Amino acid sequence: MEICSRTFLEIGEDNQITPDEVLVEGTKIKILSPTDCVKDRLAGYMYFKSRDNFDQALLVAKKHPVDLAKIKNWCSGEKHLDVFDEFMTSLKRP
């Protein structure tokens, strides 16, 4: 059986998502990078008003290194810099 090697993902208007590859018990799996995971969770907050998604974005950002400049740029492209500002304010809280 041949497995398709291309993966197409979109987060909001960003269709240039390339998943990370991680080896788990000898099997290569594709997952979102922490930065893309935060963007995905923030998209759920932006478009579906899901506070759980916002809280999940914070949890990921507090546990893993993320590229805040990329997240800010993405939020700007989605016309939701207000969400980035809220995210940064919450991220700085203890």
pTM (2 decimals)?
Answer: 0.86
Angle at 40 between CA 37 and CA 43, to 5 degrees: 150
d(CA 60, CA 66): 8
pLDDT digits over 9-26, tens only?
A: 888 888 888 899 999 999
d(CA 72, CA 31): 21
pLDDT digits over 47-90, tens only?
A: 999 999 999 999 999 999 999 999 999 999 999 999 999 999 99
Paired strand residues for 28: 23
Asked if 14 and 39 count as a contact pair (C-beta separation under 8 A), the reply is yes
Q: Which residues contact 45 (CB under 8 A, 6 or more apart)?
A: 51, 53, 54, 57, 83
Please state the domain extents for the chain: 33-92
